[in-house]
Structure 1
Amino acid sequence: MSFIQLRNVSYKYPIGKGDVLKDVNVEIEKGGFYALIGANGSGKTTFCNVLRGFVPHFYKGDLRGEVLIDGKDIREWDMGELAQKIGFVFQNPFTQISGVKETVFDEIAFGLENLGVEVDVIIQKVEDVIDILGIGYLRDKNPQELSGGQKQRVALASIIVMEPEILVIDEPTSQLDPRGTEDIFKIIELMKLKGKTIILAEHKIELIAEKAEMILVFKDGEVVMQGTTKEILTDKRVQEYGAALPQYALLGLEMEKRNWDVDRIPLTEQEAISTVKGLLAAKGGQVCHS
């Protein structure tokens, strides 16, 4: 059985006029890296809220169908237990900082304190996470005085220190510059290597193409496409659903349109270079049919 299963899931917010998720059927395997793509308002954030248990425990509303986390329906989970099972990172790091701690070290420790973990264990876990994420330079700073990128790193650290099996991350780089974005993706990739199950909503499609293993495409509350990153991000239908394709995939599709002998649609810069070199070698510098 899959680690996470959604069967015929539909959801309507309490004051909503219609369903914001519509008959969603998804299976997520343990340890996988799944990316959610689609236009704004397509249902990605609501999907994340369902996985985290905010729906129906916090937002209420009308949830239909089955949402199974490790075989147990989301409605049967205690929110405290679910918080240890699933870590949720919000789009806006400013809302995730507690506001009650004066140092980054204490902020990262806050969740463990709430669980009643012994002090010496908390100290060791926080030290380990600070070291793993390379944020020792932030250790004694006030969380409220950090930049957006620094706050997002601290927000991730405060979740990772809880050692959840599943990380649900909702557009963590939307307010970050390229350097900050790269740092966040490095942290996410590190968590993947540690065997965490990653569900990431994100618009930066070039990085999704490089890092994710599976893609779910959302449109108007429905999952309209799902499959491997290679299958989905080389399919021009993705654009018809309001999502983006990587620039290198667009290049490959254009080459196909021009009847070039493309053996595969590239996703990354390296794949694109390899594809073009292969075409040039095969045709002696002429890549088009006569």
Structure 2
Amino acid sequence: PWQHRFTFIMQDKPMGLAHAVKIAQGFLQDDSFLMYLGDNLIGESVKSFVDTFVKENLDSIILLKRVADPRAFGVAVIDEESGRVLRLVEKPQNPPSDLALVGVYLFNSSIHSIIADLKPSLRGELEITDAIQNLVTAQGKVKAHILEKWWLDTGKKDDIIEANRMVLDEFTERDIRATVDSNSTIAGRVFIDSNSLVENSIIRGPSKIGKNVVVRNAYVGPYTSISDGCLVENSSVECSVILEGSKIISVDLLDESLIGKQSIVTKHKGVKKSLKLMVGDDALVELP
């Protein structure tokens, strides 16, 4: 909807984040750029982050978040007064700070010469943390921006469910564009897109339902996202993400689940039960 153009550059082997920058150099040329790892979700805009980078003519700025247990992350040590980055430590057993690397960075073109001289780490990758550390060592102007709102790493099913909950809670507004019959109830902040149909059902927000969706004889509870072209029939769904073209039929309760594209989850007659599922694309799950 935003009329953006995308260029995809394939990384043939998983040789590290700095390697990804290296193979993109021909595309990036001398431009400054934002590096944003795709499994990160943050609760604030990067605009202030970018504005600081431009205004102060920095070589790099990195996004940090204070965490309870920094041992699982790359950790930054900064000058608290100036915000300058002093050093980075990868997953330290004795963390020198509680400031974890979020995975959102801004660089100018000086990073390319740093990466060109970079040696692979023990795991055989060109590490972006090593590149930033070398930039700091070379007296580059590297600052930190500390994230005040939430940060989620959506690499696992439960992380995606939590990210869905956070986004729906913060951004959903009530907007009903679908056909809803008189036997149905829509409560709270619910978005339902056009050409969808709700019959004899209850939908409670915050939740979001895409185009060409049919919800029939069903309950859709809070924190549920249903993509385009789905069917939810004779079922209850809560706190779940259902991707395009999938069908949920006669399931007593689908809770905290992630359902891939074009999948079917259906239940035959049997004992009532609540389900927590992670289902890939084009799957069929039949329950007794």
The TM-score normalised by the length of structure 1 is 0.28
Q: Which has the larger radius of gyration?
A: 2
Query: Which structure shows the bigger proportion of residues in helix conformation?
Result: 1
1 or 2, which has the higher strand percentage?
A: 2
Of structures 1 and 2, the one with the larger relative CO (CA 8 A, separation 6+) is: 1
Q: TM-score, normalised by structure 2?
A: 0.28
